Amino acid sequence: MAARVLTQVFNGLSLTATLDAALPDVASAKDRAFVQALTFGTLRQFHKLDFILAQLLEKPIKDQEIKALALSGLYQLAFMRVKSHAAVSETVAAVRTKTWAKPLLNGLLRNYLREQERLVAACQLDSGAATSHPKWLIHRIQHDWPEQAAQILAENNRQAPMVLRVNSRQTDRDRYLQLLADQGIAATAGGFSPSSIALENPVPVDKLPAFAEGWVSVQDGAAQLAAGLLDAQPGQRVLDVCAAPGGKTAHILETQPLLQELVAVDIDPQRMRRVDDNLQRLKLDAKRVVGDAAYPQSWWDGRAFDRILLDAPCSATGVIRRHPDIKLLRKPADIDALQAAQQAILEAIWPLLATGGRLLYATCSVLKQENERQVAGFLAVHAEAKTIPILADWGEARPLGRQILTGARDMDGFYYALLEKT
Ligand SMILES: C[S@@+](CC[C@H](N)C(=O)[O-])C[C@H]1O[C@@H](n2cnc3c(N)ncnc32)[C@H](O)[C@@H]1O
């Protein structure tokens, strides 16, 4: 099962979507946890394992499924507390019809065990293998953050904490912490948002008290900063473009119950259904629009907004620790394309903001091209736009906006800039 999931990721699908589809077919919770740990781990260490695999082979394995088995077998030997002979025999036994691959896998995994020390040392001499990242991304992160790059790359390979956001319309943080304690779930009030709770260990959401009743959501601490920065006031009209799956939409509604209206727009109808589900579970309401934020003429009614959140589509380089498949799926050319898309949306929605209104630009990227350089380019051609400094005790103060580097204070990598129309 793990090899099938990995093969689909090699073919361009996202790990989360592939696992969501595959896991219901795995009978026991223990096996589901194993498939999850093996796929996440193999992708986290993909560039290191692929380097080792190349050292062990005379010619590359063309068959993606067999390559996935080889990599997941190596992952078990190098990183998991699985007995070596069991890892080798299980990996070989997982080959069904392509019997030619059995001796190949058996031989290369046994060779790895024999040559482990030399191979691990060789990894240290190659930046991609040593950090388990594609080289283009290492260079971009080093270019943007020369002093912090090593730390960012290391954090990208660590498992992220599970963080909750308490729905302040249903309960409060102290009460919910007590409920967690009653269930034996270790947790602490955490982060810089007053509604945030950090769990000591991840827990399936259906084990969280009153999850189905909408008392709580799963959302990283960095993402929980958006609603506070937007600071929507009673009676205001708020636009949330690029809203799905609705984490920040819901948080804005939870923190400000007296809005005149919140309009949530997303281009993807399937993802918009997740906004519907989330708002329903949390007992919140917003006007939902499936539409292209870059072409508001097709959905805007002409009334200006006092607040706009643009949580832009981005490289997601700040959330690699949650989505290690990004290291394989993202390509260098994507960054220019994403920056152009962000710019087009920013230009298109700026006219929808009332004079004196505020727009919060956000990405879960650590690349300056999508963040402060994007905002600088916008300000250069909009004399009526100014940035409002974000004074906070989290993240790095930048000339424009504020950047959280991945893992700092245990948060995802995020960028925020607050613009005002003068
Ligand atoms: C970073 S995610 C948003 C996360 C969301 N704000 C939250 O907190 O749950 C970016 C979203 O932008 C949407 N998107 C991408 N291009 C778009 C466009 N041109 N117009 C509207 N939405 C777009 C994607 O479908 C995706 O749901």
pLDDT higher than threshold 90 for residue 341? yes
Same domain, 273 and 210: no
Q: Which of 16, 239, 240, 267 to mutate to test the pocket of ligand 1 (most atoms within 8 A of CB)?
A: 267
CB atoms inside a 10 Å sphere around CB 104? 18
Query: Mean pLDDT over residues 250-279, rounded?
Result: 98
Decide if 375 is inside a domain.
Answer: yes
- Alpha-carbon span 267 to 255, nearest angstrom: 25
Query: Which residues neighbour 83 within 8 Å (Cβ) at sequence distance 6 or greater?
Result: none
Residue 137 CA to ligand 1 center (angstroms) comes to 23
Report whether residue 247 contacts ligand 1, using a CB cutoff of 6 Å.
Answer: yes
Query: Any idea what the CATH number is for the domain that residue 44 is in?
Result: 1.10.940.10
Same domain, 299 and 244: yes
Same domain, 396 and 348: yes
Q: Which two tokens stand for residue 56?
A: 């062990």
| pLDDT value for 349 | 98
Is 314 catalytic? The answer is: no
Decide if 150 is inside a domain.
Answer: no
Residue 155 near residue 321, CB atoms below 8 Å:
yes
Decide if 294 is inside a domain.
Answer: yes
Same domain, 183 and 322: no
In this prediction, residue 419 has a pLDDT band, given cuts at 50, 70 and 90, of very high
Decide if 253 is inside a domain.
Answer: yes
Query: Mean pLDDT over residues 50-79, rounded?
Result: 96
Report whether residue 165 contacts ligand 1, using a CB cutoff of 6 Å.
Answer: no
CB atoms inside a 10 Å sphere around CB 388? 13
Query: Mean pLDDT over residues 265-277, rounded?
Result: 97
Report whether residue 311 contacts ligand 1, using a CB cutoff of 6 Å.
Answer: yes
Decide if 145 is inside a domain.
Answer: no
Report whether residue 267 contacts ligand 1, using a CB cutoff of 6 Å.
Answer: yes
Query: Mean pLDDT over residues 367-377, rounded?
Result: 98
| pLDDT value for 18 | 96
Decide if 100 is inside a domain.
Answer: yes
* CB environment 172-204: b (16+ within 10 A), e (fewer): ebeebbebbeeeebebeebbbbebbbbbeeebe
Decide if 93 is inside a domain.
Answer: yes
Decide if 202 is inside a domain.
Answer: yes
Same domain, 35 and 182: no
Report whether residue 244 contacts ligand 1, using a CB cutoff of 6 Å.
Answer: yes
Report whether residue 313 contacts ligand 1, using a CB cutoff of 6 Å.
Answer: yes
User: What is the residue-averaged pLDDT of the chain?
Assistant: 97
| pLDDT value for 81 | 87
Residue 355 CA to ligand 1 center (angstroms) comes to 25
Residue 244 CA to ligand 1 center (angstroms) comes to 6
| pLDDT value for 191 | 78
Taking the model in full, what pTM does it have? 0.96
Same domain, 167 and 127: no
Query: Mean pLDDT over residues 39-59, rounded?
Result: 97
Query: Mean pLDDT over residues 380-384, rounded?
Result: 98
- Which residue minimizes the CA distance to atom 6 of ligand 1? 243
Task: Quick: pLDDT tens for 66-81.
Answer: 999 999 999 999 999 8
pLDDT higher than threshold 90 for residue 162? yes
- Which residue minimizes the CA distance to atom 11 of ligand 1? 242
Query: Any idea what the CATH number is for the domain that residue 408 is in?
Result: 3.40.50.150
Report whether residue 43 contacts ligand 1, using a CB cutoff of 6 Å.
Answer: no
What total of structural domains would you count in the chain? 3
Same domain, 400 and 300: yes
Query: Mean pLDDT over residues 111-127, rounded?
Result: 97
Residue 394 CA to ligand 1 center (angstroms) comes to 25
Same domain, 263 and 404: yes
| pLDDT value for 190 | 82
Question: Which residues sit opposite 404 in a β-bridge?
Answer: 414
Same domain, 174 and 292: no
- Domain of residue 54: give its range: 2-132
Same domain, 114 and 187: no
Residue 342 CA to ligand 1 center (angstroms) comes to 10
Terminal CA-CA length for the chain: 56
- Which residue minimizes the CA distance to atom 1 of ligand 1? 313
Residue 223 CA: nearest ligand 1 atom is 8
- Alpha-carbon span 48 to 364, nearest angstrom: 25
In this prediction, residue 334 has a pLDDT band, given cuts at 50, 70 and 90, of very high
Q: What is residue 78's three-state secondary structure?
A: helix
- Which residue minimizes the CA distance to atom 13 of ligand 1? 242
Same domain, 114 and 27: yes
Report whether residue 370 contacts ligand 1, using a CB cutoff of 6 Å.
Answer: no
Helices (H) and strands (E) in the chain, counts: 17, 13
Q: Which of 266, 289, 349 to mutate to test the pocket of ligand 1 (most atoms within 8 A of CB)?
A: 266
Same domain, 68 and 196: no
* Closest listed residue to residue 311, CA positions, set 374, 345, 361, 367: 361
Residue 272 CA to ligand 1 center (angstroms) comes to 9
Report whether residue 268 contacts ligand 1, using a CB cutoff of 6 Å.
Answer: yes
